[in-house]
Amino acid sequence: MRTKPNIIVTGTPGVGKTIHCEIVAQNTGLKHLSINDIVKERGCHDGYDAEFKSWIVDEDKLLDAIEDEIKQGGYIIDWHACDLFPKSWIDLVVVLRVDSTILYDRLRARNYPEAKLQENLDSEIMQVLLQEARDSYDEEIVVELTSNSSEEMEGNVERIETWLKQWMTNSVGGS
């Protein structure tokens, strides 16, 4: 049994996953696991997609590369997908959402190619990642939070930290 939970923070690129994870990790001692970094650093890909300017993730290699770490617990996982992680590894799924006009500006500022920008906007508008989370995990561990402003982000961080404290109390008797 893990003594610390694993949390996924997921959502369309540009919703604030990384900053949420960095702050929660800094405040709680959970380890921030950036899947994008793991894919690059540990070679968990099948090459680079020049049109979308992103790595083509080999999910089997990725899961093999992180399995031993994740099973120990204590991770806050930062990635735009969640359905590949086994249910037994995950204790909370936070799906960050953002207004499409704000998301457009954020992705434009990142110089996303037009096709990638449009694909991500469509994904956000159609709630693809939220539905993916709901289809992949038990309803009670999936939480949808908005991340349109720094105030909302601060509130989200507080909610995640409160959940973590409660999990620790319930799961390991507060020790």
Length of the chain: 175
Return the structure tokens found at 77: 């996982």
- Is 74 assigned a ligand-binding role in the annotation? no
Annotated binding residue 159: no
17 labelled as ligand-binding? yes
Residues contributing to the annotated binding site: 14, 16-19, 110
Residues contributing to the annotated binding site for ATP: 14, 16-19, 110
